């Protein structure tokens, strides 16, 4: 990543691991705006940000199924919570199916966060953890917990049929749950996770299919579908245009 883009992340700890993948911050420390393409990674991001030209606000992003062009304004600072899908039902308590490939601007004062909370990333993380802990449910559907454990641990390579058998939940019911809560099918979501895992391989110059892609043609097709470009162009990543937050290296 360019030196003027500063990124930092931290894991939530085992107690919150079912619901949160990470807390992170990104800052454009240059005096110039930067155009980027944000790649899908299967996470739901609650992002708090501000810049010299934009006031503080909070945004909840839905699942992304394609690369999203964005401008990181000069001086932009954003702190975020990246949720796993189980958090949508049990922490946020509202489906995100209505804003697939888009985002929802949240009301001022959401979760009592304010501009001052973007001054210190460690304090932001502490406050966010404390808030999530107050929202933890007393009980979780064990089928759903097991389902997501298998999806994430396999990077989406396990089939819908296998998942259905392992969690004793019909494929039809699982897909209804996914569409109602997240706006896409289980298979479509697993494809995003496979792409996410492949992006790290692509950055390392491995332009051959891994993670159970059928063949080279299938691999290229899926990469183009989710990123808009070929694996070869992703590998070049001229001017660090393509960003996948889950695979960024912290400084």
pLDDT tens digits, one per residue of 141-196 = 999 999 999 999 999 999 999 999 999 999 999 999 999 999 999 999 999 998 88
> Which among 112, 138, 164 is the end of a domain?
138
Is residue 41 located within the same domain as residue 74? yes
CB 191 within 8 A of CB 160: no
In a shared domain, residues 102 and 39: yes
Q: What is the pTM of this model?
A: 0.89
Domain end marker among 138, 170, 202: 138
User: Same domain, yes or no, for 82 and 22?
Assistant: yes
Does residue 100 share a domain with residue 208? Answer: no
Q: Do 111 and 180 fall into the same domain?
A: no
Strands 68-72 and 34-38 turn out to be antiparallel
Boundary-marking domain end, from 80, 108, 138: 138
Let me know if residue 247 belongs to a domain.
no
Q: Looking at residue 210, what is its pLDDT?
A: 62
Q: Is position 249 within any domain?
A: no
Do residue 122 and residue 25 come from a single domain?
yes
Question: pLDDT at residue 18 above 50?
Answer: yes
Shared domain for 65 and 170, answered yes or no, is no
Give yes or no: residues 93 and 153 share one domain: no
Q: What pLDDT is recorded for position 49?
A: 93
Domain count, the chain: 2
Cα–Cα distance, 85 to 87 (Å, whole number)? 5
Domain span holding position 117: 5-138
The confidence score (pLDDT) of residue 42 equals 93
CATH of the domain at 101: 2.60.40
User: Strand pairing of 34-38 and 103-105?
Assistant: unpaired
Residue 37 pairs in a beta bridge with 69, 242
Q: What is the CATH number of the domain that holds 180?
A: 1.10.10.60
What is the per-residue pLDDT across 79-119, written as a single tens digit (0 to 9) for each? 999 999 999 999 999 999 999 999 999 999 999 999 999 99
Residues 17 and 115 in one domain: yes
pLDDT tens-digit readout, 31-80: 889 888 888 999 999 999 998 778 899 999 999 999 888 888 889 999 99
């Amino acid at each position: 990543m360019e030196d003027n883009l500063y990124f930092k992340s931290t894991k939530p700890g085992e107690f919150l691991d079912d619901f949160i993948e990470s807390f992170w911050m990104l800052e454009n420390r240059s005096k110039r705006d930067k155009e980027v393409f944000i790649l899908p990674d299967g996470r739901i991001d609650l992002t708090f940000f501000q810049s010299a030209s934009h006031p503080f606000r909070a945004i909840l992003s839905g699942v992304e199924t394609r690369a999203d062009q964005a401008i990181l304004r000069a001086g932009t600072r954003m702190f975020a919570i990246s949720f796993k899908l189980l958090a949508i039902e049990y922490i946020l308590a509202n489906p995100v199916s209505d804003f697939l490939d888009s985002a929802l601007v949240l009301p001022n004062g959401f979760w009592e966060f304010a501009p001052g909370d973007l001054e210190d990333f460690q304090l932001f993380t502490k406050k966010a953890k404390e808030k999530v802990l107050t929202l933890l449910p007393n009980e979780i559907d064990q089928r759903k917990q097991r389902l997501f454990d298998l999806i994430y641990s396999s990077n989406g390579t396990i089939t819908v049929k296998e998942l259905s058998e392992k969690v004793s939940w019909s494929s039809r019911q699982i897909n209804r749950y996914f569409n109602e809560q997240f706006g896409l099918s289980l298979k479509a979501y697993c494809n995003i996770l496979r792409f996410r895992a492949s992006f790290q391989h692509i950055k390392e110059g491995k332009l051959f299919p891994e993670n159970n892609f059928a063949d080279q043609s299938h691999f290229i097709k899926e990469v183009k579908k989710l990123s808009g470009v070929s694996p070869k162009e992703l590998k070049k990543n001229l001017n660090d245009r393509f960003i996948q937050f889950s695979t960024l290296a912290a400084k």
